[in-house]
């Protein structure tokens, strides 16, 4: 029986250590199989949540002591056979037979353990039974053997307990001191267990930690790890073959024999070349969940091979198609519609060709089959998807078939399962895009991205008005995420669009590179309490005063914010950025003009120096204590007279010392102002920093590369 020392750690989850220890003890006392899962799970939790390496080391030491002592008990249970071995206790400490260390643990020296009772597991059955050690006696106890000698005993069981007589050879015991030492056996004993080299134990022996580390390794590194030992082979082979890409290149494509041998491990398969061997396309992978067909080069016509691949894997949940053109091949889409477990469908750079420009319904069979396939999924991504006539050349600007075909094939349809819809880069005519959106009654996330220059503002008036009326009538009540990047809609229509959402809990809004302005900004006030993500990057209709008003508005749940074109001279040094109380990610750009315009209406700004403005900016950013990602830049194309913010200690960089949670720092061209002192300050004050973006081009000029490498900070 073992009691862990009540060590105190400045860590809020310390009680979970003792709970895991008690769980292990209870399992042994209840005669269950020895398990280390509670301790392993706790170790993983510590590995992920305790940033301080010293505290983490102390906790691992305690876990290792506990785990090692429990392992001693487990090995005693497993190795003391009734017909071969004897265990005697009393005033002497407990002992263990020599055997390799367990394959998982936390490296540390062991302490002393005293066992008041011993459990025994039979070698064949594995069943455990508890036997008291109080009745153990030995007729030869007084004449114990010395080091290098052995005594002969035979273990018998009686009603009074377990007795030892002089018949069979026994193992000599040796006490456990500060560092546990294995007992030694006589050289001539045939009953002694085989000697094995002890393996050092560390947290890396916990499978879940190896899996987590393996997620960041390249295939070549995973292959090297799989060759280390049997234990690593099992873990890293599974990671190596979980995602397989077949490209037709022998250097990167696994052999057919290797895929056959490890087919049960493959969960994702990508075929990147239409010229791969047909033997690969006939593979049957029982656990495949994700299938990607990406022929390289120009669009290629469908053959029966992709249909066979789909039929062989009816349990896939995600299918991605890219650059596959179909010529009146309804059977291809019918095979996709037959996948009853399919939840995600992505169609990229796809064309459905029609034999001629005839608008008769007889030509609609393949289009109907395509919509049937789309109606089966929960997530649909249409990226640069088009219906195209085969026998006529259509100008680039009019390539999509408008009106009749879309209306005819969609009018009586519904997509009752579709919750996530992405339409981007000219996927159909905008009329068809709007109609598809209005056919999704349970839509939650909409990403609608119109290719810049392809559709003009007048072309969007009717489609956007139809969607506004649709939303205003109460349809799509679960809509909570709108990604409307580059959508050619005026500020007034944006305001009506947002107003039509009514009481829906809008959580994410991306209107970057649009005409989103003051009217839409006022309509957005209704969603202050629900917004988590807001992207207003490159919205020229928003002024600096609008952005500053936004920054001073409390958003109780806002985590991600992107804004730009802030005239730094107008920032009040006494202002409080209330929206930043919950911010985790901020992308912000400033304009710092050399010549101030008196028409700004800020007389105080005219007297402020560049240094004062820099300090003000850093002071405001330093209030955002929960930031994990920070991107600071300036608008390069806004004004020829604008100059970048200087990231220097002399300019107020020290105001950011409170950003202790920062993991990613991006600064673009502003990195040119960094020096060795700034690098040292960043390393010393941001303990969780992992990445500095924008430093790659100048890192060779800074004699602090070793400082960054020692801290494990990547430079990109």
pLDDT tens digit sequence for 418-427? 999 999 876 6
The pTM score is 0.68
**pLDDT digits over 618-666, tens only?**
999 999 999 999 999 876 555 444 566 788 899 999 999 999 999 999 9
3-state helix, strand, coil in the chain (%, to 5): 35, 15, 50
Give yes or no for a contact between 54 and 91, defined as CB atoms under 8 angstroms apart. Answer: no
Which residue segments constitute the domains of the chain, with CATH numbers given? 14-169 (no CATH), 543-716 (3.80.10)
pLDDT band at residue 499, thresholds of 50, 70 and 90? very high
* Of the candidates 24, 22, 48, 19, the residue with the CA atom closest to the CA atom of residue 36: 24
User: Which structure tokens are listed for 473?
Assistant: 């009538």
Output phi, psi for 373, to 5 deg.
-65, -40
pLDDT band at residue 442, thresholds of 50, 70 and 90? very high
Give yes or no for a contact between 661 and 688, defined as CB atoms under 8 angstroms apart. Answer: yes
Give yes or no for a contact between 515 and 541, defined as CB atoms under 8 angstroms apart. Answer: yes
How many angstroms separate the CA atoms of 92 and 639, rounded?
Answer: 84
Question: Would you put residue 706 in left (φ > 0), alpha (ψ -120 to 50) or beta?
Answer: alpha
* Of the candidates 692, 693, 697, the residue with the CA atom closest to the CA atom of residue 713: 692
pLDDT band at residue 574, thresholds of 50, 70 and 90? confident
pLDDT band at residue 64, thresholds of 50, 70 and 90? low
pLDDT given at position 402: 47
Give yes or no for a contact between 311 and 339, defined as CB atoms under 8 angstroms apart. Answer: no
Q: Is the pLDDT of residue 33 over 60?
A: no
- Higher model confidence: residue 570 or residue 716? 570
Which 8-state DSSP code applies to residue 255? P
Helix or strand run (H / E) with residue 691: strand 691-693
Helix or strand run (H / E) with residue 154: strand 152-158
How many angstroms separate the CA atoms of 369 and 329, rounded?
Answer: 9
Specify the pairing of strand 560-567 against strand 351-354. Answer: unpaired
């Amino acid at each position: 029986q073992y009691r862990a020392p009540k060590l105190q750690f400045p860590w809020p989850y310390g009680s979970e250590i003792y709970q895991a220890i008690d769980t292990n003890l209870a399992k042994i006392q209840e005669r269950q199989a020895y398990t280390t899962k509670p301790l392993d799970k706790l170790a993983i939790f510590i590995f992920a949540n305790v940033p301080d390496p010293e505290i983490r080391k102390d906790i691992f030491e305690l876990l290792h002591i506990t785990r090692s002592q429990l392992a001693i008990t487990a090995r005693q249970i497993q190795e003391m056979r009734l017909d071969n071995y004897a265990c005697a206790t009393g005033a002497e400490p407990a002992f263990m037979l020599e055997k390799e260390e367990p394959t998982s643990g936390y490296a540390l020296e062991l302490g002393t353990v005293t066992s008041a009772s011993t459990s025994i597991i039979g070698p064949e059955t594995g069943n455990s039974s508890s036997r008291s050690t109080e009745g153990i006696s030995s007729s030869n106890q007084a004449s114990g053997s010395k080091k290098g000698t052995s005594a002969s005993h035979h273990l018998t069981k009686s009603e009074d307990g377990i007795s030892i007589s002089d018949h069979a050879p026994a193992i000599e015991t040796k006490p456990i001191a500060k560092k546990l030492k294995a007992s030694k056996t006589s050289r001539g004993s045939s009953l002694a267990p085989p000697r094995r080299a002890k393996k050092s134990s560390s947290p890396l022996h916990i499978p879940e930690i190896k899996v987590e580390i393996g997620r960041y390794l390249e295939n070549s590194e995973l292959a090297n790890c799989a060759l280390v030992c049997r234990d690593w082979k099992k873990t890293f082979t599974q990671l190596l073959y979980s995602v397989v890409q077949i490209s037709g290149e022998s250097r990167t494509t696994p052999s057919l024999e290797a895929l056959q041998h490890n087919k049960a491990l493959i969960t994702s398969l990508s075929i990147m070349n239409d010229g791969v061997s047909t033997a690969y396309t006939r593979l049957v992978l029982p656990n495949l969940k994700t299938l990607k067909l990406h022929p390289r080069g120009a669009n290629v016509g469908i053959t029966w091979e992709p249909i066979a691949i789909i039929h062989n894997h009816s349990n896939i949940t995600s299918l991605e198609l890219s650059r596959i053109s179909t010529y009146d091949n309804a059977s291809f889409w019918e095979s996709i519609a037959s996948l009853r477990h399919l939840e995600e469908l992505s169609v990229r750079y796809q064309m459905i060709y029609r034999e001629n420009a005839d608008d008769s319904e007889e030509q609609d069979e393949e289009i109907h089959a395509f919509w049937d396939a789309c109606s089966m999924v929960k997530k649909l991504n249409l990226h640069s998807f088009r219906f195209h006539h085969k026998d006529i050349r259509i100008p680039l600007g009019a390539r999509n078939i408008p009106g009749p075909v879309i209306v005819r094939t969609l009018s009586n349809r519904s997509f009752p399962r579709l919750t996530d819809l992405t339409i981007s880069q000219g996927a159909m005519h905008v009329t068809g895009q709007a109609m598809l959106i209005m056919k999704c009654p349970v839509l939650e996330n909409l990403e609608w991205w119109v290719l810049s220059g392809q559709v003009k503002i007048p072309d969007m008036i009717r489609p956007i008005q139809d969607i506004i009326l649709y939303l205003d009538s109460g349809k799509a009540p679960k809509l909570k995420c709108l990604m409307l990047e580059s959508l050619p809609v005026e500020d007034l229509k944006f305001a009506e669009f947002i107003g039509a959402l009514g009481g829906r809990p809008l959580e994410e809004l991306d209107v970057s590179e649009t005409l989103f302005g003051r009217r839409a900004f006022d309509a957005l006030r209704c969603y202050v309490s629900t917004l988590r993500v807001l992207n207003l990057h490159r919205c020229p209709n928003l002024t600096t005063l609008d952005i500053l008003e936004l920054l001073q508005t409390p958003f109780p749940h806002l985590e991600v914010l992107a804004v730009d074109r802030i005239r730094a001279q107008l920032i009040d040094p006494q202002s409080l950025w209330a929206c930043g109380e919950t911010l985790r990610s901020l992308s912000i750009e400033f304009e710092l003009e050399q010549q101030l315009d008196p028409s700004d209406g800020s007389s105080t700004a005219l007297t402020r120096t560049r240094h004062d403005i820099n300090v003000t900016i850093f002071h405001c950013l330093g209030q955002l204590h929960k930031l994990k990602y920070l991107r600071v830049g300036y608008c390069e194309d806004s004004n020829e007279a604008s100059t970048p913010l200087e990231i220097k200690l002399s300019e107020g960089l020290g105001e950011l010392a409170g950003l202790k949670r920062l993991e990613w720092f991006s600064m673009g061209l502003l990195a040119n102002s960094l020096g060795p002192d700034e690098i040292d300050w960043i390393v010393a004050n941001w303990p969780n920093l992992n990445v500095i973006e924008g430093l790659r081009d100048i890192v060779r000029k800074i004699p602090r590369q070793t400082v960054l490498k020692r801290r494990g900070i990547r430079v990109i």
